[in-house]
Structure 1
């Protein structure tokens, strides 16, 4: 087996850009992937080695533009010119939940399909996987994106098995598609690509140089419930509004049903249709989110917080909190308390 000399023949990577992408992810991927081989040798030897990658920013054309937050972008190649990448990286694109990706990024999606058909591996960050779902590349596959897109995937791409708790998900023959979840998980995506295609030792060096670590525990503990108010079902909307303050009540679900005047089965069906949750799951998500906020800003004991959000049994609360977030309440407080962000570490 002949090993490839990446200094002589760099790994070819194109990062797709448009005015709806986020500059932090676009340039984060570009910078980290460009630095492989050069940054570590400069740090340890004082002289940068030749780069092991050729990374380009590719857009519909090469005219400069500004993306989200006004970050300037200078594309290296147009879609028409970019035809040799071995890996195509797709950052997030903010196009609005009511808009189909193809209506805004049709040429970009067609280019992705051509590159994938030609053998390129696809790597998406945050909401970038929606472009692949829109193109039909994820039908019957597991996928991930930012946790806030769970509802959109369920409604628009029911053939996709969406895993909002995952940091990385894989699809396609031979895992030819890799997707990362949350906004900052582009770091996990870049480290994975480096490890898989250039070698684990280079991923470890990049992680040490940039002081970043893979996130083995996913993004469940970052998520917040999407408190969608029913736009058409006034009865369920009234129950949701009551529950926003009444979630602490021990019999909150029976009281909502009584408030609605509906039979239990009819209430359950209409509540799920309006919110995407069962009444019990919706209540639990509200309580856990309130508990998160208490853990972030208050010094109350976990038992006191459990009682404050509606749980008389603190042990049951701890089990539910870990099940929903992947962390114990104490672990969550250590990671996300407001004081932690202001302390030396």
Structure 2
């Protein structure tokens, strides 16, 4: 029997904690219906017996404290709420226990903003990790040595897993169920809980937010210029000249400050504007393309799909209510 420790961090978001418990527990019910022993022993593990979660609206009663568990097989770190640095500080006593369990062979899965607590262990250095796209800038600033992949719903590296934003944690739990219990049980779980199986990315949900929480004023001015003039043809030499900075120096400073190259930043601003048009207007694809400063149809569609995970037509069908009707 595989032992699963679902952590109860102070300030956890109840949904990802309870949702995980329900899914793993349901797998045991499937095995019970077949006359087989349960596959998982699922326990809530806290720093204290009673832990306030979801901004104090609820209290979760832990089955065990971390000191009671010598060995576990899988640690689930639910999403945490509130100011992130404060949340990590409140839950720092989990860190040495998580590290010790991983060194003893346990696997670890972080859900949504639980990635911040996982990253604070140091176990993610040089590895890929997913989290909510809204927290991208904060995560990069706090953990520059982690390879953040905001497009992914699931990462899987060396027994460490992570999931993207909000309810996409359900896809990671299904992924783990498939790994431990097989595809048939994962499909059955998806059907019982009405979860869309095999979702691979969260690109279509992402809203680009230019990283401006830095101290480089010249770069901020260039970001603002790009955002106001994205319909025009903007060159790097033009931007460098505006701020009287050498091209190579500007490219280095821009990447350091924003985590994007200048070309990537321009593309993402253009695609964000295109997404808004596709969501809210009846303009055809070419009209949207020209509106955001593209003249090459293939280049526009290729860039749009790389950034959103969908073609412009697919995106419109998914998000434009009027056109869908």
* Shared fold per TM-score greater than 0.5: yes
CA distance in 1, matches of 2:107, 2:53: 27
Deviation at 1:52, TM superposition (A): 4.2
> Which residue in 2 is equivalent to 1:17?
8
Structure 2: stretches of 5+ with no match in the other structure: none
Aligned counterpart for 2:57 among listed residues 67, 70, 76: 70
Deviation at 1:107, TM superposition (A): 0.9
> Which residue in 2 is equivalent to 1:279?
262
**The residue matched to 1:224 in structure 2 has which SS?**
coil
Aligned counterpart for 2:78 among listed residues 86, 91, 106: 91
Question: How many positions carry a matched residue from both structures?
Answer: 325
TM-score scaled by length of structure 2: 0.87
**The residue matched to 1:93 in structure 2 has which SS?**
coil
The answer to whether the Cα contact below 8 Å between 1:321 and 1:329 also exists between their aligned partners in 2 is yes
CA distance in 2, matches of 1:65, 1:100: 15
> Which residue in 2 is equivalent to 1:7?
none
Residues 8-62 of structure 1, C-alpha deviations (whole Å, 9 max, x = no match): xx532221112322112111111111111426988xx9xx997543322221111
Q: CA distance change for structure 1 residues 240 and 158 in 2, over 3 Å: closer, same or farther?
A: closer
Aligned counterpart for 2:153 among listed residues 145, 148, 167: 167
Aligned counterpart for 1:80 among listed residues 52, 59, 67: 67
CA distance in 1, matches of 2:237, 2:197: 43
CA distance in 1, matches of 2:97, 2:213: 38
Residues 107-142 of structure 1, C-alpha deviations (whole Å, 9 max, x = no match): 111221232233322122123233333222223333
Say what the alpha-carbon RMSD is for the aligned residues.
Answer: 2.9
The answer to whether the Cα contact below 8 Å between 2:81 and 2:87 also exists between their aligned partners in 1 is no
Aligned counterpart for 1:122 among listed residues 108, 127, 136: 108
Aligned counterpart for 1:181 among listed residues 161, 164, 168: 164
> Which residue in 2 is equivalent to 1:109?
95
**The residue matched to 2:113 in structure 1 has which SS?**
helix
CA distance in 2, matches of 1:128, 1:144: 10
CA distance in 2, matches of 1:181, 1:230: 22
> Which residue in 1 is equivalent to 2:301?
318
Residues 131-172 of structure 1, C-alpha deviations (whole Å, 9 max, x = no match): 333222223333322334444454444443332222222222
> Which residue in 2 is equivalent to 1:3?
none
Aligned counterpart for 1:269 among listed residues 232, 235, 252: 252
Q: CA distance change for structure 1 residues 215 and 198 in 2, over 3 Å: closer, same or farther?
A: closer
CA distance in 1, matches of 2:184, 2:268: 41
Say yes or no: does 1:329 pair with 2:319.
no
CA distance in 2, matches of 1:340, 1:39: 42
**The residue matched to 2:232 in structure 1 has which SS?**
coil
**The residue matched to 1:21 in structure 2 has which SS?**
coil
> Which residue in 2 is equivalent to 1:58?
45
> Which residue in 1 is equivalent to 2:210?
227
TM-score scaled by length of structure 1: 0.82
The answer to whether the Cα contact below 8 Å between 2:54 and 2:81 also exists between their aligned partners in 1 is no
More moved, 200-209 vs 134-143:
134-143
Q: CA distance change for structure 1 residues 69 and 316 in 2, over 3 Å: closer, same or farther?
A: farther
The answer to whether the Cα contact below 8 Å between 1:188 and 1:215 also exists between their aligned partners in 2 is yes
Deviation at 1:283, TM superposition (A): 1.0
More moved, 274-283 vs 324-333:
274-283
Deviation at 1:287, TM superposition (A): 0.7
Q: CA distance change for structure 1 residues 87 and 217 in 2, over 3 Å: closer, same or farther?
A: closer
Residues 257-301 of structure 1, C-alpha deviations (whole Å, 9 max, x = no match): 443233333333333333222222111111111111211222211
CA distance in 2, matches of 1:69, 1:334: 40
CA distance in 1, matches of 2:96, 2:321: 45
Aligned counterpart for 1:218 among listed residues 189, 196, 201: 201
> Which residue in 2 is equivalent to 1:132?
118
